[in-house]
Chain A
Amino acid sequence: MRSSVVRLDRLSKEYNRTVAVDDVSLTIEPGHLIALLGPSGCGKTTCLRMIAGLIRPTSGDVFVNDERVTDIPVHRRNVGMLFQSYALFPHLTVEENIAFGLDVRGIAKAEAAKKVASALSLVQLSNFGKRYPAQLSGGQQQRVALGRALVIEPAMLLLDEPLGALDKGLRESMQVELRALQRRLGLTTIMVTHDQDEALTMADKIVVMRDGKLEQVGSPTEIYQRPTSKFVAKFIGASNLFEGHVEQRSGGGALIRVSPELSLEVDEMPASATDAMISIRPESIIVERAGENAAPPQVNSVAARVDQAIYRGFVSHYYLKTSGGEQIIVFEQNQSQQAGLRYTVGEEVVARWGSPSNHVIARH
């Protein structure tokens, strides 16, 4: 299979003066899997459909391998697409479904049969060729859809919430499987999802969208560790967000005063800023019993009371309340030998964390 470069150049789509996609420019490297991630109505599906050719952009262009495809109709674009509803043809058998793309291209029966057989084995459904879609489970149906999309040797694979209709366990194993297959084939893939876990699990690059615009583009690590906006910080994983003002500068860093009892030390602070928004991930906070450490540190630390404690198997969630009324969420990994929650509701604790965990958010 070929690996294509897909480039979106100032792509926009308006419906009756409401802007669904607003000036999106993006390059997808060959063989990469990128995830368009965002809440419903953020324009991610419209974006995907414009790449497929199912929707005509109001302005802007789509390039595949530097060739402008904006005016090429969908049936000549050679894209493989997966839908949330699987979109299998109910009146055709699994084999006939997979052969559909070959048939409409006029590929000879014998050659098509060979390709169908290899596609069936690729998606591990060799014994299911004669069945009808209604006789298969959801996971099997999506595999058929995958086989049907891959058999035409598409220039790219487009996934529209492909695993959204599956239950959690199956969805997670399909994510890993789909990703492994995509890597092996080196197929440029664009996926639409509202599930941050799915994006983090599968994507080389995550594109967070909001109100039709790109909010942040980066690797899963970048997106998770260094969100550039409050929206991304809250949308991807959980975040403790604090607003404060610069109290003191030292080198590139600064001391941020959030409240009388909480000040944060950041290692890097834009020179001009006087106010700052800081995000701290719940898993980077350490909780200790009050009085356990003789002298709690002056910065990156606050005394609090356990407001809620939730046991979730491998992790426990603690919702802490400071005396100033701020809420702090802490995720603590549970060791295998441990019985359960380490702190009970109402207990006085101290939360502390290292200054590298303080991430300054540029836009808020």
Chain B
Amino acid sequence: MTTSDDAVAVLGVETPPVARQGSRWRLALPVGLLAVPMLAFLTYFFFYPAIRLLFSSILTQNSLGIIGRPFTLAHYARLIDVELYARVLWTTLRISAITSVLATVLAYPVALVMVKSRPIVTRSITLIVIAPLIVSVVVRGYGWQLVLQNGPKGMLNWILMTLHIVNEPLSILYTETAVVIGSLHVFFPMMVLPLASALGKIDPNLEDAARTLGAPWWKVFLRVTLPLSMPGFVAGFTLVFSLTAGSFVIPAILGGASAVMLGNLIEQQIFVVYDWPFGAAIAVVLVGLVLAVNGVSMWLLEGRRLRRAD
């Protein structure tokens, strides 16, 4: 709601005195006006529905399907009390956290190589990292379904069994693991790019200085490179966590019944069960989760900046 207040404030911006001098008024138009078309669009198509959603999450739906008073927090209580829903919430958090952690671990080496290599190598890796974004998430989801197919005919199982790495086919599809793998693939660039950008900003002399001071490479990484790349890590982690937590397509295609996430639950409540207030409550919780993660990471970053500039 504060956001729509901000919008009103911007719309109501007072014209600065210069504007009233006649001939120069065109130049002096407040720059804020440039944002008006987009703000109007967002106000009507985003802020208004979002506020409606927030409201319907505390309203009651009667037996005729009409949403109205009395106000209630029963939907939120249900989300926590009913074990199934609590489990979905927990699954969402777990999948998002695991995906973000794995993305971090996998992205660091890639980002390091990107930063330390010759320009041609850097550009090639960037291209490879970004390339999957060109393909629709749905297509990639079905692609992974083929790869992870359960039973001996699945591509991964076939390879593993042919190489005698496993004797029994693995059951990965329709598990949390499949969702993590899919999400990792989809959101990997969101981790690599901020990390590479942060690593690229580190003065290479810092690492040389640390080495001359007696630090072997792993201490250089832990004590210099890693702490200085924190802004990139926090940005990447926040992005991957938020996007995974809010994802719908990947769990729908790869998760099946055993890895239902909040996004799928919302879809069920709204389109299948027609329980808009409960769907809205879940959506609010999801948005709250994402905002919380963003808030914490912003706080971490601000803390660092304050500590440095003081």
Contacts and interface: CB of A to CB of B under 8 A. Distances in A.
Interface in A43-66: 52-54
Interface in B277-310: 304, 307-310
A38 interface: no
Contacts of A103: 223
B14 interface: no
A91 B227 contact: yes
B209 interface: yes
A132 B304 CA distance: 12
Interface residues of A, number: 32
A78 B205 contact: no
A152 B228 contact: no
Contacts of A227: none
A85 B309 contact: no
A183 interface: no
A54 B212 contact: yes
B228 A75 contact: no
A213 B227 CA distance: 40
A83 B208 contact: yes
Given A54-B211, A83-B208, A105-B214, A100 B223 contact: yes
Contact of B219 (A52, A104, A135, A152): A104
B210 A90 contact: no
A100 B210 contact: yes
Nearest to A145: B209
Interface in A124-153: 132, 134-135, 145, 148-149, 152
B209 A83 contact: yes
Given A90-B228, A135-B310, A152 B209 contact: no
Nearest to A52: B212
A77 B214 CA distance: 8
Interface of B: 203, 205-206, 208-216, 219, 223-224, 227-228, 304, 307-310
Given A80-B212, A132-B308, A135-B309, 10 more contacts: A75-B213, A83-B209, A85-B203, A89-B206, A89-B228, A91-B227, A100-B215, A104-B223, A132-B310, A152-B213
A158 B210 CA distance: 14
A89 B224 contact: yes
Nearest to B307: A132
Contacts of A76: 214
A83 B210 CA distance: 12
A83 B205 contact: yes
A74 interface: yes
Interface in A90-105: 90-91, 100-101, 103-105
A79 interface: yes
B227 to A, nearest CB: 5
A74 B308 contact: no
A85 B206 CA distance: 9
B211 A91 contact: no
15 contacts: A74-B211, A75-B214, A75-B216, A79-B212, A83-B205, A87-B203, A87-B205, A89-B206, A91-B227, A91-B228, A91-B308, A104-B215, A104-B216, A132-B307, A135-B310
A78 B213 CA distance: 7
Nearest to B209: A87
A199 interface: no
Closest 8 CB pairs of A and B: A101-B213, A87-B209, A87-B205, A81-B212, A104-B215, A74-B211, A83-B205, A91-B227
A75 B209 CA distance: 10
A80 B205 CA distance: 13
Given A83-B208, A89-B206, A134 B214 contact: no
B215 A75 contact: yes
Nearest to A133: B308
A89 B304 CA distance: 14
Contacts of A89: 206, 209-210, 224, 228
Which of B205, B212, B215, B310 is packed against the most chain A CB atoms within 10 Å? B212
B211 A75 contact: yes
A81 B208 CA distance: 9
B223 to A, nearest CB: 7
Contacts of B212: 52-54, 74-75, 77, 79-81, 149, 158
Contacts of A73: 216
Interface string A102-119: 011100000000000000
Nearest to B210: A100
Nearest to A54: B208
Nearest to A81: B212
B184 to A, nearest CB: 29
A95 to B, nearest CB: 14
